[in-house]
Structure 1
Amino acid sequence: MEAHQGFTEAVLAAYRWSQEFTDRQPRLYERLNVSYINQVTQSLKGAYILRRYPVTVDDLIDVFLTVLMDIKTPHSSSIYLKPELQSVCHPGALAILSEESDKRVNRPLALLDDRSRAEAGRGEVRSNPFCLTTAGLLQQLQKKRYNCEGEPDAERRLLYITDPDGWVMAALALTTPMLQALFLPDFFHKYISNKTSLGINVPRKGPRLFALEFHFQFYVWRENGPIHQDFRRKRNGKPFRRSHKLQHLGIDEPLEAVVHEAQISCLVTGIDNKFWCAYFLVDTFYQGIESTEAVDSYELEDCHLYRPDPLTLGLNAHFPEWDPRVYFLTIYECRLAQVKHAMDNLLSCLGLRLEPYLHDHFDLSPLADVETSMSYDRKIKLQEMLNEASRLLRQTIHSISRIIEVWDHFSSQDAAYLRDIMHHQSVLPKPPTCGPPEEETSPFRVAEIIGEHIKSFRQLKARTEEQQDLCTGAARQVLSDSKYLMPCAR
C-alpha cells in the first residue's frame, strides 16, 4: 500500500504546474520578438546562417518543420506533417501574403486581442484593427510583443480565425516565435485532418514551455435552407471539409438536408502565467452569410463596457481571465456545450425522420392494397434510407465516443496540471445576456459543468446506439422481406 501511494505521488509530481510558470521567466520575453523563421535564417552576431530565408510557400514549410528537430530521424512526425501542410498550402510566393489587394489574402477572417496587465481590470489593450484579413494579420503579428514602442506589451494574446486556409497558416508559420512554433505543426495537423483530442504538454527539455490544446471533430445538420459547402480547396481541388446531401431520407415527403463536417481547434501556449497566446481555429462556412461566428458579427458600435470574446462565444473580453489554464478550461466548456448542441440537434432531426419507420419496424412488412412490384420498389427505398441513416449514425457514434474518450484520459492524467487552480476564483463574468456582469465562476465549477456535459454526451451516445440498433434491425427485416417481394422476371 505504501509503495503504491509513493508511486502515485511520484506520478502526480510529474504533472505539477512548474513554479517557473508562476514566478515568470522574464529572461525569455525578448525571444518572443523574433520569429522562428528569422531566427534560423539570419546570422546573429556573425554566426553561421543555418538556412536561406524562404521565398515560396514550400520553402516556408521546409524551414518551419525544422523546429521539430527530427528531420533526420526515421519515421519522424515531419514525414507526415510535410505532405499534409503542402496539401492545404497552395504553391506560390510568400510575397503574396503582403498583397492586400490579392483575393487570396484579403478575406476578413481574424480577430486579434492583445492586452497587458494593468491596475484596471481590463488591462491595457493594443489598438489592433478590427476584422483582420490574412495580409492585415501578418502585419500585426510582425510587431514586437514585448517592448513595442508606443504599444502595451501583448502579454495575453487571443487570436481568433474563422475558416483558416493555407495562406493564413503560412502567415502564422512565418511570424511565430520559436517558443510557440514548437507546438504549431501538430496543431495544424489535427485541425487539417479533422481530429478530436485534448491534452496538456509541458516539454521536459529546453526552456520551460506549456501547451494546452483541444480539438473537436463533429457534424452539423442543416435543413431547408441554402447549402453552404466549404469554399476552401486543397491542392488536389477537394474541399477542406465534406458536405453530404442526404439523398434517401425523404421517402414520403421532400427533404433538403445536408450534414457538414466541422472542426474547432484551440491551442493555449506560453512561457509563463504572464506571457501566453491562445490560437483558435473554427469552421463557420456552413453558417453562410448570417454566421453568428463570423468576425464582423462581433463588431459593436460601442464596446467600452462590453466587448465580446469570440473564443468563449461572447463572454466579456473587458473582464479578462489572465490565468492560461483557467481561460483554457473556460473555452473548452463553452465549445464543448456548442458541440453537444450540434450533435443533439443532428440526432433529433434524424430521429424525427426515422421515427415513422422505426417506431415498430415489424410494421414495415404489411403494405396493403399495393401491387407486389410496387411493394418491392418501396422496400428498396426503405433499404436505401436505412443504410444512409446507419452510415450517419456510425459516424456520429464515433465522433461522440472520441470526445468522451479524450476527456476520460485527460481526467486521469493531464488534469493533474490543474490541481492548484481548483481552489481559486476566476474573474470571468458571464455576458449580459446570460446573467449579471458581477457573476463569477470558479475553475472548480467550470470543471463540474464540463463533467455535466460529458454525462450528456454519454447519454447522447446511448441514444445514438439505440437508433443504430433499430436501423440495423429494420434494415435486416426489409432485406429479408424483399427476397419474397422481388418482381418476377419477364
Structure 2
Amino acid sequence: MQQQRGFTLEFHLPHYVLRPDRPELRDGRGLRKSRSFLPPSSGSNDRIYEAQLSLVVIGVDEFFWMAYFSEDSYFRNSNQISEYLQDKTDGPSFGLRLCKFPIWDPRYYFLSILSIRMGQVTMEWRVLVETIEGRLDRHGEIDEDNLDEFLEDDPSLQKTKEFTWILCTLRRLRNSLARLIASWAAFDRNNSVYFDLDSDGALAAKFRECFFSVRQSTAELNTLQMVLEQRIETMEKMASVLYLPVTLVTSAFSMNQVSNDIAWWKYWVSLFCLTSATVAVAVGLHLMVHQMRNSNIRSMLGYTR
C-alpha cells in the first residue's frame, strides 16, 4: 500500500490448479508452466497448471479510483468475461456481486475481492492436496503388507523414477504454498494498520469481516501445507531406504580394485540382497518402535498381562 500523491492497493496470489491434461489448453505464451503429477510415461489424465490472480486498485482519494484485475485462464475452455457481462456481475468478485450494487470505498472493495479470491485459491489447493493424498496411498510407509512390492525386481528403475518425480513435485507445491502463506502473513502484520480494524462503525466492521475470512483461508492453507510436509517427510525416509542399497552396491562395483570381468548378474544379486536386508531392518525397527509405544501406553494406563 502506498500513500504518496494518492494510493495503491494490490495483491498477487500465485497458486496451482488441477485440471484435465489437454495439450491445446497449455500456455502457449510460455509465461506459465504445467506439470503432470506422475511421470509422463504413466499416462495420467490430470495436470497441475501454474496460475496467478492479481488485483491493483489505484486512485487519488476515496472518491476517484479504479481497479485492474487479471487472472490466468489459459487452462480453461470457457470465457468467463462474457458470462460476467451477460449476468451483469462484477468480474473481480468472481461474479458474486452484482454491478448495480457497487462498493464505493476502495479499501473495502480491495479487501472484499481479496477475501473472495483467497477462498478460491484455498479451494484449488484443497482439491489438489486431497487428490494427491488419494493417489499417494500406495506410497505410504513401508510395512509387512507392502514389503513384497518394494522387493520386486525393477531393472528399468521405472518405480524409482516415478518416486523421484512425485517427491520433486511435492517439494515444488510445498514451496509455492509456503510463499503464499508468508506473503499474507507479511501483509497482515505490516499493512493491517491502514484499515482501521480497531475503529467503530459499519465500514470498520466490514474490514474486520474480510480480514477474518482471509485469516480462515490462511489457517486452512497452513493445514494443507502440513499435509504436504508430512508426505514429503515420509517419502524422504523411504527414499533413504530404497536408494541406499543402490548407492552402496554401485560404489562397490565401481572401485578400481574390483575386476572388470565380474558378471553383471552378480551386481543385481548383490543389489537385491542388500535391498532386502535394508528394508527388513527398516520394517523391523518400525515394528519394534510401534510395540514399544504400545507397551509404554499400557504401562502408563496401569494395564498388566
Same fold (TM over 0.5): yes
Please state whether the residue corresponding to 1:345 is helix, strand or coil.
Answer: helix
- In the superposition, the TM-score normalised over structure 1's length comes to 0.47
* Deviation at residue 271 of structure 1 after TM alignment: 0.4
Change (3 A) 1:404 1:321: same
Deviation sequence 1:186-212 (CA, Å, 0-9, x none): xxxxxxxxxxxxxx1223xxxx21111
Distance 1:312 1:465 in 2: 32
The one of 155, 178, 188 equivalent to 1:377 is 155
Distance 1:404 1:422 in 2: 27
One-letter code aligned to 2:57: V
One-letter code aligned to 2:135: R
Specify the alignment match of 1:299 in structure 2: 85
Distance 1:422 1:361 in 2: 57
Indicate the RMSD between aligned Cα atoms, in angstroms: 2.8
Identity of aligned residues (%): 23
Q: Given that residues 242 and 261 in structure 1 are in contact (C-alpha distance below 8 angstroms), is that contact kept between their aligned partners in structure 2?
A: yes
Q: Given that residues 209 and 269 in structure 1 are in contact (C-alpha distance below 8 angstroms), is that contact kept between their aligned partners in structure 2?
A: yes
The one of 17, 32, 57 equivalent to 1:241 is 32
Specify the alignment match of 1:135 in structure 2: none
Distance 2:199 2:134 in 1: 42
* Deviation at residue 241 of structure 1 after TM alignment: 0.8
Specify the alignment match of 2:290 in structure 1: none
Specify the alignment match of 1:415 in structure 2: 192
The one of 352, 356, 367 equivalent to 2:138 is 356
Distance 1:343 1:408 in 2: 18
Find out whether 1:213 has 2:6 as its counterpart: no
Find out whether 1:283 has 2:72 as its counterpart: yes
* Deviation at residue 250 of structure 1 after TM alignment: 7.5
Change (3 A) 1:250 1:341: farther
Distance 1:298 1:357 in 2: 43
- In the superposition, the TM-score normalised over structure 2's length comes to 0.73
Mean Cα deviation higher: 413-422 or 397-406: 413-422
Deviation sequence 1:60-94 (CA, Å, 0-9, x none): xxxxxxxxxxxxxxxxxxxxxxxxxxxxxxxxxxx
Specify the alignment match of 1:201 in structure 2: 2
* Deviation at residue 366 of structure 1 after TM alignment: 1.8
Change (3 A) 1:381 1:279: same
Q: Given that residues 139 and 235 in structure 2 are in contact (C-alpha distance below 8 angstroms), is that contact kept between their aligned partners in structure 1?
A: no
Q: Given that residues 400 and 457 in structure 1 are in contact (C-alpha distance below 8 angstroms), is that contact kept between their aligned partners in structure 2?
A: yes
Q: 5 Å matches for 1:390-409?
A: 390-409=167-186
Find out whether 1:324 has 2:106 as its counterpart: yes
* Deviation at residue 246 of structure 1 after TM alignment: 4.0
Q: Given that residues 326 and 421 in structure 1 are in contact (C-alpha distance below 8 angstroms), is that contact kept between their aligned partners in structure 2?
A: no
Specify the alignment match of 2:165 in structure 1: 388
Change (3 A) 1:348 1:362: farther
Deviation sequence 1:386-429 (CA, Å, 0-9, x none): 21122221121122112221222222221100016864435xxx
Q: 5 Å matches for 1:339-350?
A: 339-350=121-132
* Deviation at residue 275 of structure 1 after TM alignment: 0.5
One-letter code aligned to 1:460: L
Change (3 A) 1:406 1:246: closer
The one of 216, 227, 230 equivalent to 1:463 is 227
Distance 1:458 1:361 in 2: 29
Q: Given that residues 364 and 478 in structure 1 are in contact (C-alpha distance below 8 angstroms), is that contact kept between their aligned partners in structure 2?
A: no
* Deviation at residue 329 of structure 1 after TM alignment: 0.3
Find out whether 1:268 has 2:57 as its counterpart: yes
One-letter code aligned to 2:7: F
The structure that is helix-richer by fraction is 2
Q: Given that residues 268 and 328 in structure 1 are in contact (C-alpha distance below 8 angstroms), is that contact kept between their aligned partners in structure 2?
A: yes
Change (3 A) 1:247 1:399: closer
- Can you give the 5+ residue segments of structure 2 that lack an aligned partner in the other structure? 251-263, 268-305
One-letter code aligned to 2:78: E
Q: Given that residues 245 and 258 in structure 1 are in contact (C-alpha distance below 8 angstroms), is that contact kept between their aligned partners in structure 2?
A: yes
Distance 1:488 1:361 in 2: 28
Change (3 A) 1:422 1:317: farther
Change (3 A) 1:446 1:361: farther
Specify the alignment match of 1:476 in structure 2: 240
Q: Given that residues 54 and 71 in structure 2 are in contact (C-alpha distance below 8 angstroms), is that contact kept between their aligned partners in structure 1?
A: yes
- Number of positions where the alignment pairs a residue of Structure 1 with one of Structure 2: 252
Specify the alignment match of 1:312 in structure 2: 93
- The higher-RCO structure (CA 8 Å, 6+ apart) is 2
Change (3 A) 1:311 1:422: farther
Deviation sequence 1:142-168 (CA, Å, 0-9, x none): xxxxxxxxxxxxxxxxxxxxxxxxxxx
Please state whether the residue corresponding to 1:310 is helix, strand or coil.
Answer: coil
